[in-house]
Structure 1
């Protein structure tokens, strides 16, 4: 074990963190204790404004890039690259108050603690630090998910993202302009470079909670295939149209939902499947549906198993087309392969946890996170704190105060070592 670079937190700092978390959670609060602030809505804008004021009051410079990613820049070493830390403020409909938002606030508090530490000690780190709130990580209003970080790393064209519309036909560009969150330039580039990235998040699973472990060290991601499909039939009268003559799109969609569950049962815990969204047209009680649009989700730790399941689902699609007399059209796909996080980042986090006396274990992330994109660009550290009973994307989502505070302690020390070049030993100015 080695001595921490930064002093441990104080009870006052913990109280400040929890008070700020409560204040932030009031934006878009739901009666059952969750939040609803989908990307670029009024409640998302209000949360962004609160965070911007918090950062500005502490000496950070707040800027937005062209896809609405929000950065709080703290220049500690002029000309040096930046270590980014953060997550996202947007939520699912009637979602939990911890998902994403905790990671942004934790990064803000960790960066501010480092600001105070360097000011008090008169030391200068090798890198600067920036807090980031990624745009539209959830993908509930605009698809795909992780949109802001995907544009940032070059995996999704900016123009494609800006032209994406929500269910009401509002484009990302229009929504960002409505809340004043679309910047005119890229914040990072040749003149201001990124050296590394760190993110802390609730686990959204039960491994930490079941084992009584405080910190998860994420070493790899599950692969995922996400599809938007359309089941196309023919509109008819629910009473007058003979069953044999119906081209019922909703019947075809129902068979797909069942097929997804049967796939999951066939492959066991190594495959997760779902239909997370289903829109019926014309959605009238006396009309046979002419079209159903669906969002399908397949995830697995194995790229090979995911491909096998995908092939099986396509074969079932062909059978369903005949069985229901419908056409199944794939409209959009968002996929990523399973990947590992840099081993040196996992080891850095493990060493920090050991030095701080925090229990830790290796975990895989089944969910997608902005770090999933960032790890393909720069050395990345991904940390988890426990989710009670693994509940997430729901108002009952919960993480204990002690775990929230410990997570910020670990992130602060991890960032301190990253700013001193732990993952980028020779940052160039």
Structure 2
């Protein structure tokens, strides 16, 4: 007889085939054909297991199980979209884990004929990754009112395709908000690979996320003057790419100065006109700074501003910057942390408190309703990479913990 764990792993293998890369990862950025295929597979799975499937106007996909009419919903899930040549576990594991956990609860309710006070729903949040459309966590941002729907729908990718157009291309929107006057969400749970190495390093199975790191994400433009790479005297050049290179180095040196309490990166760089015989006239960059300390992040931002002024003089360029997306470090509700900790203890699963350095949809949801965020180990902390890996035993243990956590949440434990 097939076990719950075997069924989960088989379904995860099927889900991982959509957008699969030769090196073992996935390529399914938001609202691409591969993302649409994974969404269609999820919808069929949910429908086949008794869920009602709905989509809202920003492309969030829900599977609803109603146990009691007019009762609030406990919501659980994550996201199916990926980074370019990303890992197959990031996000997708949390969606499928929530679906399996909710289905196990459906079977328990049917077997016992005991109707819980709350209903349950599974969610696949749209564009959590933010690789095709910025900002990240778009679907949950709109859902929680942090991002305006109208602005999100007209956001365009690098090719000029808007969110609205892309979602229409995969049949990814619905006619209503799904959760409005007729339905309410009482609490939220999400399980995710850690995308760090604390659990793996410590040999611990479950991370109880009690806090988020703060983050500043910047969109920058370095403006110079286009000229000939051979004929223009060095002293006369206003090389935007040189200025951008100095920015990249300055951001890394910020991390060196502040140590492990500050993570910095330049994740995207676009050069114009990007010709081999032309001094660049303009470069666009996407930077981020992250820290567990709001105060340190303020210091780092001030130091970055000072360094940018120096770079303008040194390279003869203009540096324009704006915040693309920011959030402060915040705590998850202690009651949710305690609930998940009690579940892990009852199941005999090792646990530890961890903070999330990455952004997740739960970082939006925790500001709306009581929220539980759980991690399972990432081998060597690798993520956003085809080399991302989590062991089967950890995947299955996570589903077990999530199932029991949701079982207590639908009984009103949060």
TM-score bracket for this pair, using the shorter chain length: over 0.9
Which residue does the alignment assign to 2:109?
118
Task: Determine the C-alpha separation between the residues in 1 that align with 2:59 and 2:307.
Answer: 40
Query: What secondary structure does 1:378 align onto?
Result: coil
1:235 pairs with 2:226: yes
Query: Per-residue displacement from partner, 1:219-251 (whole Å, max 9, x unpaired)?
Result: 000000001111011111000011111110000
Distance across 1 between alignment mates of 2:318 and 2:194: 39
Count of aligned pairs = 414
1:232 and 1:403 map into 2 onto residues whose CA distance is 48
- Pick the aligned partner of 2:49 from 50, 58, 81: 58
State the 1:191 CA deviation: 1.3
Distance (whole Å) between structure 2 residues aligned to residue 360 and residue 202 of structure 1 = 14
Distance 1:188 1:95 in 2: 31
**Structure 2 contact 265–288 (Cα < 8 Å) conserved:** yes
CA offset digits 1:98-145 (Å, max 9, x no partner): 000000000000000000010011111110000000000000000000
**For residues 383-413 of structure 1, what are the alpha-carbon distances to aligned partners after superposition, in whole Å with 9 as ceiling and x for unaligned?**
0000000000000100000000000000000
CA distance in 1, matches of 2:146, 2:102: 28
| 1:337-370 alpha-carbon deviations (Å, 9 max, x no partner) | 0000000000000000000000000000000000
Of residues 402, 408, 412, the one that matches 1:417 is 408
**1:71 lines up with 2:62 in the alignment:** yes
Shift of 1:57: 0.4
CA deviation digits over 1:123-180, x for unaligned, max 9?
1111000000000000000000000000000001111111110000000011011111
> Would you say 1:389 and 2:380 are equivalent positions?
yes
Shift of 1:11: 6.1
Matched, 1:404 2:395: yes
Counterpart pick for 2:319 among 316, 328, 341: 328
Which residue pairs with 1:19 in the alignment?
10
Q: Which residue of 2 aligns with 1:302?
A: 293
TM-score, normalised by the number of residues in structure 2: 0.99
CA distance in 1, matches of 2:248, 2:385: 21
Please list the CA deviations of residues 24-53 of structure 1 after superposition, one character each: whole Å capped at 9, or x if unmatched: 000000000000000000000000000000
Alpha-carbon distance in structure 2 between the residues aligned to 1:332 and 1:342: 28
- For 1:427, the equivalent position in structure 2 comes to none
Question: Which residue of 2 is the match for residue 350 of structure 1?
Answer: 341
Q: Determine the C-alpha separation between the residues in 2 that align with 1:14 and 1:28.
A: 24
Ranges in structure 2 where 5+ consecutive residues have no aligned partner: none
2: CA distance, partners of 1:393 / 1:421: 35
Structure 2 residue corresponding to 1:265, chosen from 256, 261, 265: 256
SS in 1 for 2:3: helix
Cα distance in structure 1, aligned partners of 2:402 and 2:26 = 24
Distance (whole Å) between structure 1 residues aligned to residue 363 and residue 192 of structure 2: 12
Question: Is 1:225 matched with 2:216?
Answer: yes
Find out whether 1:202 has 2:193 as its counterpart: yes
Moved more, 132-141 or 183-192: 183-192
Residues 165 and 331 of structure 1, relative CA distance in 2, 3 Å threshold: farther
Please state if 1:31 is matched with 2:22. Answer: yes
| Counterparts of 2:131 and 2:117, CA distance in 1 | 38
Measure the CA separation in 2 of the matches of 1:330 and 1:178. 33
1:146 is aligned to 137
Q: Determine the C-alpha separation between the residues in 2 that align with 1:109 and 1:263.
A: 43
Distance 2:166 2:399 in 1: 32
Q: CA RMSD in A?
A: 0.8
Asked if 1:360 is matched to 2:354, the reply is no
Structure 1 residue 190: deviation in Å? Answer: 2.0
Deviation at residue 330 of structure 1 after TM alignment? 1.8
Which residue of 1 is the match for residue 165 of structure 2?
174
SS of equivalent to 1:350: helix
Retained in 2: the 8 A contact 1:374–1:380?
yes
Aligned equivalent of 2:121? 130
CA distance in 2, matches of 1:332, 1:211: 36
Q: Is the 2:216–2:323 Cα contact (8 Å) retained in structure 1? A: no
Structure 1 segment 235-254 matched on structure 2, within 5 A:
235-254=226-245
CA distance in 1 between counterparts of 2:381 and 2:193 reads 9
**Which of these residues, 103, 106, 109, is aligned with residue 97 of structure 2?**
106
Contact 1:230 1:331 in 2 (8 A): no
Q: Distance in 2 between matches of 1:294 and 1:331?
A: 11
- Post-superposition offset of 1:331: 4.4
1:426 aligned residue: none
